[in-house]
Amino acid sequence: MNIDISSPYIDTTTANDPIQIRLVGGTSATEGRVEITRNRTWGTICDDSWDIQDANVVCRQLGYDSATDAFSNAYFGQGTGPIYLDDVTCFGTETALSQCLASQWGEHNCRHFEDAGVRCYGELLKKQELSPTVFEVFESMSH
Ligand SMILES: [Ca+2]
Ligand SMILES: [Ca+2]
């Protein structure tokens, strides 16, 4: 299998290139393994330094209020695609995962048994289909 996991031109700290997120393998829509993509191939996040601050950003980007838990060790099962992010470091104030620090896109020292997961809290207030631009407008209007 030829998996394109390294793209040196992508800076994971650049918010102009949003990361799409979905949750897989949970018992409800609010929880699951975090799967992400920028090019339609879904991949996972390594649990190295994965914590509640990172989970909060994922949940907020999905439209929830916050996270209640961050899960390690493929709690929601192992993914099968590329492992895109490792050593994710969010401070908790970011509105999107692409604004957090992390290792270079596709660079990691992990296996899928380390896939990261989250459980989110709150009503899904914002539609996931909204484009990032619309999303930002919506947020600034609500303040
Ligand atoms: Ca972290
Ligand atoms: Ca690592």
User: 55: which 2 tokens?
Assistant: 């989970």
Q: Distance from the CA of 87 to the center of ligand 1, in angstroms?
A: 6
Q: Which residue has the higher pLDDT, 107 or 128?
A: 107
Which ligand is the nearest neighbour of the Cα of 85? 2
How confident is the model over 10-17, as a mean pLDDT? Answer: 49
Q: Report CA(88)–ligand 1 centroid distance (Å).
A: 5
CA of 130 to the centre of ligand 1 (A): 27
Which range, 4-18, 68-82, 117-131, has the best average confidence (pLDDT)?
A: 68-82
**66-71 and 117-121 as β-strands: parallel, antiparallel, unpaired?**
antiparallel
- Answer positive or negative: Cα dihedral of 12, 13, 14, 20: positive
Cα(116) to centroid(ligand 2), Å: 12
**Cβ distance 42 to 35 under 8 Å?**
yes
Separation of 44 CA from ligand 2 center, angstroms? 13
Domains of the chain: 28-123 (3.10.250.10)
User: What pTM does this model have?
Assistant: 0.77
Element (H, E) at 40: none
